A = this chain, B = another copy of it.
Amino acid sequence: MVKITDVARHAGVSPSTVSYALSGKRPISEETRRRVEEAIRELGYRPHAGARALASSKSNVLALVVPLRAGIHIPVVMRFAVSVVTTARDYDHDVLLLTQEEGEEGLRRVADTALVDALILMDVQLHDPRLPLLRALERPSVMIGFPASSEGLTCIDLDFKAAGEACVDHLAQLGHQVVALVGSPPEVYVRQTAFAQRVVQGFTAAADRHGLASSVHPCEAGPGDARRVAERLLREQPALTGVVVHNEPLLEPLIDAFEKLGLRVPGDLSVTAICPDELAEAARVPVTSVALPSAEVGERAVELLMRKLAGDTDVPEATLLAPRLTERASTAPRVAP
């Protein structure tokens, strides 16, 4: 193995000079730098990561904790992970993959052994048991999603309130006057992050702002539920022409149910959703939707982390990503009766 002393000898300088030439932490003459670089190239020198970590107390590795829980859309996780890795590389960092399964002990382990410099957590719950640990840890972290209190932590996610609004805005713009929100199953409103509530807030606010008649329905997503939900919506709001679905498994079945009840999508009924793009695209009727911008979240998460690692003290605690609505085949202007 070729080491820094070899490079130094070959270039006719001291090891510290090689180090400074590499890190740029002290001025080095043009001539010397050139010689060092040449020596490095000729010898094929690669600094030993462990030695570097030991001497500098920086591993240049980030931990990424991915969820395993059922109900998580895998491609979204994967896209996010890839985006984290790619962005981390731009900052000369690598990514260590951890599973949720490892729990708090896993976090403590990689943090305390100095295996990683910082952490990224996905799938943060409202009252995530890892929160106290994260606050106590001496290493910076960024969480995807918002817990009940993000005090002293850094969080990032899609702006679900704005996403709810965007869907309603789109429907209002198309002339729809009676809209409904088909929400996530009731337990999601309790267990998970606050995102489900925020969709409701956005939905309601936008509907009020546009002067639309609106209603909100948290819905189970079992096999037979779609039909029942569709019937209930139509019973309660016979003039319904716009639906926002924030319930992934229910999306397709619900559209089917509406059509079976004689309503054409988007002819009689416009449907928008908040869901991963794959789902919206793959549907029989491709659905106009606000996507979870996983790649962007990953990128931004790493950027936030890098700022924290650089000692930036005014990194925002909360970052909300603006929703982007993609129009597809499931929405159309309202046809006056």
Using CB atoms and an 8 Å cutoff, list the residues of chain A in contact with chain B: 44, 46-54, 57, 59, 61, 64, 66, 68, 74-75, 77-78, 81-82, 85-86, 89, 94-99, 101-102, 109-110, 112-115
Residues of B within 8 A of A78 (CB): 74, 77-78
User: Are the CB atoms of B54 and A59 closer together than 8 Å?
Assistant: no
User: Are the CB atoms of A115 and B49 closer together than 8 Å?
Assistant: yes
Identify which of A95, A97, A98 gathers the most chain B CB atoms within 10 Å of its CB. Answer: A97
User: Are the CB atoms of B51 and A109 closer together than 8 Å?
Assistant: no
Question: Closest B-chain residue to A63, C-beta based?
Answer: B94
Q: Which of B68, B81, B96, B102 contacts A96 (CB 8 A)?
A: B96
Question: Closest B-chain residue to A83, C-beta based?
Answer: B99
Residues of B within 8 A of A86 (CB): 99, 101
User: Are the CB atoms of B98 and A50 closer together than 8 Å?
Assistant: no
Residues of B within 8 A of A50 (CB): 49-54, 57, 59, 114
User: Are the CB atoms of A94 and B82 closer together than 8 Å?
Assistant: no
Residues of B within 8 A of A75 (CB): 74-75
Cα distance, A82 to B47, chains bound together (Å): 30
Given A52-B50, A74-B75: A97 and B81 interface contact (C-beta under 8 Å)? yes
Closest beta carbon of chain B to A279's beta carbon, Å: 12
Cα distance, A89 to B105, chains bound together (Å): 12
User: Are the CB atoms of A82 and B54 closer together than 8 Å?
Assistant: no
Q: Besides the contacts A47-B113, A48-B54, A50-B57, what 6 more A-B pairs have beta carbons closer than 8 Å?
A: A48-B113, A49-B50, A49-B115, A78-B78, A82-B99, A97-B97
User: Are the CB atoms of A68 and B82 closer together than 8 Å?
Assistant: yes
Q: Which of B53, B54, B95, B112 contacts A97 (CB 8 A)?
A: B95
Cα distance, A96 to B89, chains bound together (Å): 12
Identify which of A74, A77, A82, A94 gathers the most chain B CB atoms within 10 Å of its CB. Answer: A94
Residues of B within 8 A of A54 (CB): 48, 50-51, 54
Question: Closest B-chain residue to A95, C-beta based?
Answer: B97
User: Are the CB atoms of B114 and A94 closer together than 8 Å?
Assistant: no
| Those 3 A-B pairs whose CB atoms lie nearest each other, nearest first | A50-B53, A46-B112, A50-B54
Identify which of A50, A75, A94 gathers the most chain B CB atoms within 10 Å of its CB. Answer: A50
Closest beta carbon of chain B to A115's beta carbon, Å: 4
